[in-house]
Amino acid sequence: MEPIVKVRNVEKAYRKRKSKEMIQAVNSISFDVYKGEIVGLLGPNGAGKTTTIKMICGLLKPDSGSISINSIDTDSHRLKALTHISAVLEGNRNLYWRLSVRENMEYFAGNRGISRKEVAPLINDLLDKFHLKSKEHELVNRLSRGMQQKLAIAVAMLAESDVILLDEPTLGLDVETGYEVRTILKNIVKEYNRTIIISSHDMDVIQDICERTIIINHGSIVTDDRVENLLKLFEVRSYTVSLGGLLSSMQQQLLTQKFPNHTYVSDSYQSTLEIDLLKSEEIYDLFDILKLQATPVESIDRQTVNFEQIFMKIVKGEKTHEVAQSS
Amino acid sequence: MKLLNLLNANIRKEYIELKRYLPNTIAMLLTFYIIFLAMFAGIQVIGDPTTQDMNIQYVIVNYIFWYLTMIVVNDIGWQLSNEATQGTLEQLGMSPMGIWRIMAARLVSSTLVHILIIIGLLYLSMATTGQWLNIDVITLIPIFILTLISMFGLGFIIAGITVILKQIQAFLQILQFILAALAFVPLSVAPFLAFFPIVKGVDLVRQVMIDGASITQIGYSDFLILGFNAIIYFFIGLSIFLYCERVAMKKGLLAHY
C-alpha cells in the first residue's frame, strides 16, 4: 500500500537571530504514514516536532529531502499537495475572533475556493458532530477555549482533506473538554476515514488515540513503533524486586556494572530494586548477584508502565529501545 | 469559479467586520470628514479668494483619492500584521489557492466595499462645499481600474514586506504621508512623476472631475502611461510578494511575530 504521507531524509537548519549560529532542527528524518492511521509525534521541547509538522503542511521548506502527500511532492507542486492536507497549528489562534463560528467556517472554506452553498451541508454536519450548533452565531472571542479548539478542528475538517495535522490539540483544555476532543479525533478517523498526525506533550492523549508513535529527539527519530508494542515491550522489561535484606557494597557494585540504570532503595532491614532488563535472560544475572550473599527475595513484580514513563526512558536513553527491539 | 468563491468570501468578511464594528467605522468616517472640514475652512480663511473654488475642488479629488489609496495599499499591511499576531497567517499559507490569490482577493474586496463609502464621502464633500464636480462614469471607470491595478501592485509590496518583517507599523505611518504626497502632487510640477504609481491616475481624474474632460479628450498616450504603470507595478509588486513568501517559507517566518 502506498503511504499517504511520505517523508524522506528531510533536514532543516535555522540560523539563530543573535548569534547567527546554525541550529539543526531536523536531521535526516524519514517515515511513512498510511491512510486511516493516527500517528503521534512526540518529543521534548525543541526536538523538531513542530518544524516537521510545518514542513509536511508546506509552511516551511526543507533544506534537503522530500515530502509527498498522496504521491504529490510538496516542494514542486505545493498548492496541489495542499488540497490533500489541513492543519490546526496554534489551536484557537487559528481563528478569526471577530467572526462567528459559522462565519469562520464559511470564510475558511471560501479561502479554499469552496462556495457557501456548497459547504453548508458539511458545516451543519460538523456543527452537530462537534456540539457547536447552539453556538453557531456566537463570536469566537466569546467562546470557551475548548469550544475554540473544537471549532479549529472543525475548520480543518471543512477542507475534506485526506490528512489532518494537529499541533497540541488538547493544550490548555480542561479534563472534560480534552476527553471530548479525543473522542472527536477518534471519530474523525473512524467515520470520515481521515489520516491524523498529532504532535502533543500529553502522553495520555497519545496513548489513548494514537496507533503509532514517532518519537523525535534532537531532530532525529528515536523510535517509530505502535503504541501497544512500546507498552508491551517496556512492561516485560521493567521489574520491581523486593528484598528481605540489604545488598552488600560488592553486590551494589556488580549491579551498577551490569544494570547501570537500576534504582536501589533501602531502609534498615529490607530494600527494593527497580530494574530494566534489556533481554529476559538477564534475570539470571540478577539472581547470580543476589545469590552471592544469599539475599532473600520476597517478591518480583512486573512494573506497569504508562506511556509517559516509556517516553522518558526512550528520550533519556535512546539506544535502549533499539537494543530491546532487536532482542 | 474557485476564484469567485474566494473573492466572495473575502468581500463578505470585509463587509461583516465593517458592519459588526459600526462605531469604529463611523469614527473612521467622521475623522475623515472632520479633517476635510478643517482643510475646507483653511482654504476659506487663508486661501486666495480668486482661486478658492479651484482649490476646494482639488482638495476634494485629492483627499478622496488619498483615502482610497490608504484603504488599498496601507490596509493590507495592517491586516497582515494583525494576522501574524493572531496566528491566522499560517492558515492562509495552507490554502491551496495560494497566499497571493487570497491577498489579491483581499485587495479587490476592500476596494469594492470601500468604494461605496468613498462615493458617499465624495457626495458629502461636494454637498458641504457646494462644489459639484463632473462625474463622468464612462471616462472615470477605465482610469480608476488602471490606477487601482498599480495600487494593488503597491499593496503586494507592502504585504510582502509585512510577511517578512511583521512589525512595520511605524513604516505604515510614514507610508500614509508618502501616499498623500503622491495623491496631492500636481503632475505639472514634476512631469516625470507620471511614471510613479497613482500620480498619473489622480491627475487624469482631476482633468475629468474638475476640468470636465471626456474620454475622447484624454489622449492615447495618457492611457498608455496608465496601462504601462498598471502592468509594471502589478508585476513588480506580485514578484516581490512571491519572493518574500519564498523567503518566509525558507526561514520559517510565516508564524513568527
* pLDDT score recorded for residue A77: 92
Say if residues A13 and A24 touch (Cβ distance below 8 Å): yes
Interface test mutation site (partner A, options B82, B94, B164, max chain A beta carbons within 10 A): B94
A260 plus A315 within the same structural domain: yes
For the cut 80, the answer to whether the pLDDT of residue B248 exceeds it is: yes
Contact A14 B252 (CB under 8 A): yes
Query: Residue A267's domain spans which residues?
Result: 232-326
A46 plus A85 within the same structural domain: yes
Please give the span between the terminal C-alpha atoms of chain A, in angstroms, as a whole number.
28
* Domain closes at, from A231, A262, A288: A231
A184 touches chain B (CB under 8 A): no
Q: Phi/psi at B23 (nearest 5 deg)?
A: -55, -40
Q: Which strands make up the sheet holding A163-167, listed edge to edge?
A: A85-88, A163-167, A195-199, A38-42, A212-217, A220-226
A29 plus A154 within the same structural domain: yes
- The CATH number that applies at residue A269 is 3.30.70.1150
Q: Which three cell numbers, joined as nine digits, stand for B111?
A: 476596494
| Nearest-neighbour CA in chain B from A229: distance (Å) | 34
HSE-CB of B142 using CA atoms within 13 angstroms: 14
Provide, as residue numbers in chain B, all residues whose Cβ is less than 8 Å from the Cβ of A114: 2, 5
* pLDDT score recorded for residue A65: 94
Burial string for B28-52 (b: 16+ CB within 10 Å, else e) reads: eeeebeeebeebbeebeeebeeeee
Amino acid sitting at position B194:
A
Counting the structural domains of chain A, the total is 2
A181 plus A312 within the same structural domain: no
* pLDDT score recorded for residue A236: 63
**pLDDT tens-place string over residues B1-22:** 899 999 999 999 999 998 988 8
A223 plus A308 within the same structural domain: no
Contact A93 B86 (CB under 8 A): yes
A198 plus A218 within the same structural domain: yes
Provide, as residue numbers in chain A, all residues whose Cβ is less than 8 Å from the Cβ of B96: 79-80, 82-83, 112-113
Distance CA A24, CA A218 (A): 8
* pLDDT score recorded for residue A93: 77
Q: Which residues pair with A297 in a beta bridge?
A: A243
Exposed/middle/buried for A22, CB within 10 Å: 0-12, 13-18, 19+? exposed
* pLDDT score recorded for residue B201: 92
| Nearest-neighbour CA in chain A from B84: distance (Å) | 10
User: A283 by DSSP, 3-state: which?
Assistant: helix
Torsional sign, CA B201, B204, B210, B212: negative
HSE-CB of B232 using CA atoms within 13 angstroms: 10
* pLDDT score recorded for residue A322: 43
Contact A109 B9 (CB under 8 A): yes
Compute CA distances A74 → A15, A58, A78, A148, whole Å.
23, 6, 4, 29
Q: How far is CA A311 from the centre of its chain?
A: 10
**pLDDT tens-place string over residues B32-79:** 889 888 888 888 888 777 888 888 888 888 888 898 898 888 888 888
Provide, as residue numbers in chain A, all residues whose Cβ is less than 8 Å from the Cβ of B249: 58-61
**pLDDT tens-place string over residues B184-208:** 888 888 888 889 988 999 999 999 9
Contact A95 B3 (CB under 8 A): no
* Domain closes at, from A173, A205, A231: A231
Which residue ranges in chain A fall short of pLDDT 70?
91, 232-236, 305, 316-327
In this structure, the number of other CB atoms found within 10 A of the CB of residue A269 comes to 9
A213 plus A240 within the same structural domain: no
Contact A111 B90 (CB under 8 A): no
3-state secondary structure chain B: CHHHHHHHHHHHHHHHHHHHCHHHHHHHHHHHHHHHHHHHHHHHHHCCHHHHHHHHHHHHHHHHHHHHHHHHHHHHHHHHHHHHHHCCHHHHHCCCCCHHHHHHHHHHHHHHHHHHHHHHHHHHHHHHHCCCCCCCHHHHHHHHHHHHHHHHHHHHHHHHHHHHHCCCHHHHHHHHHHHHHHHHCCCCCCHHHHHCCCHHHHHHHHHHHCCCCCCCCCCHHHHHHHHHHHHHHHHHHHHHHHHHHHHHHHHCCCCCC
Residue of A nearest to B246 (CA): A61
The strand pair at A22-33 and A163-167 is best described as: unpaired
A16 plus A44 within the same structural domain: yes
User: In this prediction, what percent of chain B has a pLDDT beyond 70?
Assistant: 99
A13 plus A133 within the same structural domain: yes
A16 plus A135 within the same structural domain: yes
Of A93, A99, A110, the CB nearest to B6: A110
**pLDDT tens-place string over residues A93-148:** 789 988 999 999 999 999 999 999 999 999 999 999 888 999 999 999 999 888 99
Q: What is the mean pLDDT of chain B?
A: 89
* pLDDT score recorded for residue A91: 66
What is the value of ipTM here, to two decimals? 0.87
| Nearest-neighbour CA in chain A from B156: distance (Å) | 18
* pLDDT score recorded for residue A234: 66
For the cut 70, the answer to whether the pLDDT of residue B138 exceeds it is: yes
A208 plus A283 within the same structural domain: no
Distance CA A67, CA A82 (A): 12
For the cut 90, the answer to whether the pLDDT of residue B231 exceeds it is: yes
Q: Phi/psi at A17 (nearest 5 deg)?
A: -60, -50
Q: Which three cell numbers, joined as nine digits, stand for A135?
A: 453556538
- The CATH number that applies at residue A89 is 3.40.50.300
Of B12, B88, B98, the CB nearest to A94: B88
Distance CA B33, CA B235 (A): 35
Contact A59 B96 (CB under 8 A): no
* pLDDT score recorded for residue A108: 95
A130 plus A255 within the same structural domain: no
Amino acid sitting at position B3:
L
Find the mean pLDDT for residues B80-108: 89
A:B CB pairs within 8 Å = 102
